[in-house]
């Protein structure tokens, strides 16, 4: 018990609580935030991935159970995703082990996580843009049961599963954006429910093989679960009172800079990129808003329901 109450464990508890709040606020996957946080706290990258996957399997199971009980997932679509994701997710730990010695594995995982974070930031930005553009241009008639496309769906699952198996990052962002592109008419609640349901066996598969090969550290795992669960609950409760667009935009900046740092980009270059994103970002958003006709005051990182609400208000004032 004393091992779980060390300074390091309490630090992880505090960070996981904060990450949980952000996850509850924005719905963004915790792996993209928690895994690099563990690395910066001094946890070995391979151990960070293993422990975060085990904790994520617990948290995602709770969310998936809620959606399954309410009947929101598209089970056939989730099944095709699982067909591709579960085997490749299980292969992640074996791929890391095959890289070489401990030093080579650490370098490989850090690089993979850095690339995954940059990809996550890009795909999340794309997801927000697709939501806004679809609302402005007219979304196809919504449906709970779109015509399935098995081959591309399995491929999406396979790529997403491999990314999660190696880095613990991407189970939500990459697969969610791909589903938006493949099934633009799928209703929002079905989209979220399907993504959560398919993520459970995906993460469990990756977690099991990582536990078998790397093992878990209770000093890391227990604080992850104890801090993340209440943090997520609090974040979800206050979500309607916080300007989520600003939070999401900030997270994309953090993910990008963190990813570049893990990739070994020169600190001066990272600083210049950060300054560019902070200074030029708002100008770019303003130009893009004017181009696609988004009402004033709407952040491009807002969720579809927020943009849709703003669109209706804009139309009523005309």
Rg of the chain taking only CA atoms, in angstroms: 19
Instruction: Give the count of beta carbons closer than 10 Å to the beta carbon of residue 79.
Output: 18
Whether the per-residue pLDDT at 310 is higher than 50: the answer is no
Q: Which pLDDT band, with edges at 50, 70 and 90, does 154 fall under?
A: very high
Contact (Cβ atoms closer than 8 angstroms) between residue 85 and residue 161: yes
Q: What is the pLDDT of residues 95-152, one digit of tens each?
A: 998 888 888 888 998 898 888 888 888 877 777 676 666 656 555 555 666 778 889 9
Percent of the chain with pLDDT over 70: 72
pLDDT tens digit string along 60-69? 666 666 656 6
The confidence score (pLDDT) of residue 223 equals 87
DSSP letter at 35 equals H
Contact 159, 174 (CB under 8 A): yes
Span 251-266, mean pLDDT?
84
Calculate mean pLDDT across residues 246-250.
Answer: 73
Which 3 state secondary structure label does DSSP give 143?
strand
Measured CA to CA, the distance from residue 206 to residue 201 in angstroms comes to 8
């Amino acid at each position: 018990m004393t091992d779980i109450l060390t300074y390091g464990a309490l630090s992880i508890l505090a960070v996981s609580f904060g990450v949980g709040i952000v996850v509850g606020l924005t719905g963004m996957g915790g792996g993209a935030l928690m895994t690099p946080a563990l690395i910066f706290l001094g946890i070995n990258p391979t151990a960070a991935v293993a422990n975060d996957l085990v904790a994520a399997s617990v948290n995602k199971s709770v969310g998936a159970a809620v959606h399954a009980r309410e009947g929101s997932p598209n089970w056939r679509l989730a099944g095709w995703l699982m067909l591709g994701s579960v085997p490749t997710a299980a292969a992640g730990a074996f791929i890391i082990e095959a890289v070489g010695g401990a030093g080579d594995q650490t370098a490989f995982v850090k690089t993979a996580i850095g690339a995954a974070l940059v990809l996550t930031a890009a795909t999340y930005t794309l997801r927000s843009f697709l939501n806004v553009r679809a609302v402005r241009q007219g979304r196809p008639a919504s449906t709970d049961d779109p015509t399935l496309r098995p081959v591309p769906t399995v491929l999406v699952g396979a790529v997403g599963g491999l990314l999660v198996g190696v880095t613990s990052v991407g189970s939500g962002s990459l697969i969610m954006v791909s589903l938006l592109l493949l099934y633009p008419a799928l209703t929002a609640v079905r989209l979220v429910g399907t993504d959560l349901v398919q993520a459970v066996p995906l993460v469990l598969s990756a977690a099991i093989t990582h536990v078998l090969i790397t093992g878990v550290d209770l000093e890391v795992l227990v604080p992850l679960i104890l801090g993340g669960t209440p943090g997520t609950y609090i974040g979800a409760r206050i979500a309607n009172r916080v300007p989520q667009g600003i939070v999401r935009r900030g997270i994309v900046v953090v993910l990008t800079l963190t990813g570049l740092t893990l990739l070994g980009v020169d600190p001066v270059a990272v600083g210049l990129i950060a300054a560019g994103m902070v200074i030029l970002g708002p100008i770019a958003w303003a130009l893009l808003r004017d181009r696609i006709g988004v009402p004033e005051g709407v952040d491009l990182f807002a969720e579809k329901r927020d943009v849709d609400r703003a669109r209706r208000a804009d139309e009523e004032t005309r």
